[in-house]
Amino acid sequence: MLHPDDFDVSEAWIDEGLPINAFGRALRRRFGGRIQRVSIDAGFTCPNVDGAVTRGGCNFCDNRSFSPSRRVRLKQVHDQLTSGIVTVRKRYDKVAGFIAYFQPATNTYAPVEQLREVYELAIGINQEPEFTDQVVGLAIGTRPDCVPESVLSLIQELADRTYVSLEYGMQTIHDEGLRWMNRAHTHADMVNAIDRSRGRGFEMCAHVILGIPGETHAMMMATAAEVGRLGFDAIKLHNLYAVRGTPLGEQVLAGEIEMMKRDDYVRTVVDFLELVPPRVVVERISGDAPPDFLIEPKWCLEKSALRLAVEAEFANRGTRQGSRYAPPKIDPANRPIPHDATPESIRSKIETRGRLPVLKMEDR
């Protein structure tokens, strides 16, 4: 019997002879042209930094700037987006539109009405004569423990009007790895969040890290299977990399931790994607940092060569994304919706009526 995935129009990439359901091509099909993301720092902090769940942040994250008391004005958010659009337009001739990408820190962690102001500001740029219909959607990076119902309802409402991708830092399904990273959430939190997010009209993207110390190949493949089991729409794969000014960076400099070797990473990415459903859009296959900040591994700076190596590995094997995908016993669409497990320490910050020091309207 054919699985519903077999009929998915998002499998056009197979007809195009591609080895993976690549993000750029998927956006072109959806929006009819090249789409670029513009990264926005809206001034948010993170419950892993301000003490709501813990302090210090993830061991790989340079979060020194995510001070709970920092202030980014709405006008600055506006200017980041418009100047980003102008810069990209100068660099590339044919860009059909832009996705406003709320990237640094935890972008659903603020009083919900402040979140609305920021997201609406990004969409509202389409009303300005110089930028008419330029912003085709939003991408919002967050943690699985920062999406109470109030946030999901807001994002659902926005998704009625524009494309929205909610990007969850899943990283791994193994709690040992999450503890090693100091994530301060469990995989059960991820399952709770995704089971409450599904079917609301926005895309759900999983951010996954490969090469976590102590994780075997089989453990990483179990994370791959979970992407299909939970019904994610998109995935971002990152190699673990160390940057200056982080606990991980210090450990790598001290020789205590080794990063994955390039060949091993290439094979692991291909093994991983063979298990991921064909309909899932692959937004990234590696991660990197500016050369001045990156400690290890240096090979991730050669992004094009890495992509070609992954494609060559697929070609050598005669496989593609989803070649070994086994549909889960329960269709993700039929998974029960659980109670909202957002920790009270986080919910109280999001559902407060006051304002955090960030994003004061009067600063516009």
- Options 37, 78, 143, 236; binder of ligand SF4; rule CB under 6 A: 143
Contacts with ligand SF4 in 25-64 (CB under 6 A)? 46, 48-49, 57-58, 61, 63
Q: Does 106 bind ligand SF4 (CB under 6 A)?
A: yes
Complete edge-to-edge strand list for the sheet that includes strand 135-142: 35-40, 97-102, 135-142, 163-171, 203-210, 234-239, 281-284
Q: How many helices and strands, by DSSP H and E, does the chain display?
A: 12, 9
Q: Does 252 bind ligand SF4 (CB under 6 A)?
A: no
Q: How many residues at the interface with ligand SF4, by CB under 6 A?
A: 11
Residues 6+ apart with CB under 8 A from 88: 36, 38, 95, 98
Minimum distance, C-beta of residue 220 to ligand SF4, in the bound complex (Å)? 19
Which residue type occupies 291?
Answer: P
Is the Cβ–Cβ distance between 276 and 225 less than 8 Å? no
CA count, 13 A, side-chain hemisphere, 170:
30
Q: Does 158 bind ligand SF4 (CB under 6 A)?
A: no
What would the two tokens of residue 189 be?
A: 């939190």
Tell the residue number behind the tokens 């591994």, with chain if given.
Answer: 297
Minimum distance, C-beta of residue 109 to ligand SF4, in the bound complex (Å)? 9
- Whats the size of the chain, residue-wise? 364
- Options 26, 105, 121, 235; binder of ligand SF4; rule CB under 6 A: 105
Q: Does 169 bind ligand SF4 (CB under 6 A)?
A: yes
Nearer to ligand SF4, 280 or 346 (CB): 346
Minimum distance, C-beta of residue 80 to ligand SF4, in the bound complex (Å)? 18
Residues 6+ apart with CB under 8 A from 133: 97, 126
Minimum distance, C-beta of residue 78 to ligand SF4, in the bound complex (Å)? 23
Q: Which residues bind ligand SF4 (CB under 6 A)?
A: 46, 48-49, 57-58, 61, 63, 105-106, 143, 169
